[in-house]
Amino acid sequence: MFDESYLIQRIKDKTPYTKVDYADDSNIDLVHIDLLEPRIFIGHLGIKKQFPEDLVADGFHEIENREILLTAIQFLCQRDKLAEVRTNIKNAYHGFSPFPTDGDYSNLVFIEATMVAKTGNKAWWQEIVGLHMPQIA
């Protein structure tokens, strides 16, 4: 795993956005605020297997079925800015390694994205990124 603060700082460093913080489960209240800039929230979701259908108790097979740490990047923005904000955020995390002292360990990759909620002028988007965690035999 990695400390979420590395991804928070990466997005702050590589985008024009400053309101980037840890996710919590009460963010839905933010739908009613005035947005002068996007609000971005980062939080780990869990870990899954690369090939979830292959659940066997075979140590050698397990090495080839790596774990993937899933992390959500959620953001609330003006609906007409959704594509621009998403592109900026994806450019910030794509290929990024959250291990400052070991950049060869692994890097973040896109897994999936979805619209969480929307109003006439606001969009709440969730992008899920993954980090392949190499297994050591």
The domain ranges of the chain are 4-133
pLDDT at 63 over 80: no
72-84 per-position pLDDT tens digit: 999 999 999 999 9
What's residue 136's pLDDT?
A: 47
6-61 per-position pLDDT tens digit: 999 999 999 999 999 999 876 556 666 778 899 999 999 998 776 655 555 555 55
Cα–Cα distance measured from residue 116 to residue 70, given in angstroms and rounded to the nearest whole number: 17
**How far is residue 132 from each of residues 24, 86, 122, 135, measured CA to CA in Å?**
24, 22, 33, 9
Is the pTM higher than 0.95? The answer reads no
The answer to whether domain 4-133 has CATH 3.40.630.30 is: no
What's residue 49's pLDDT?
A: 72
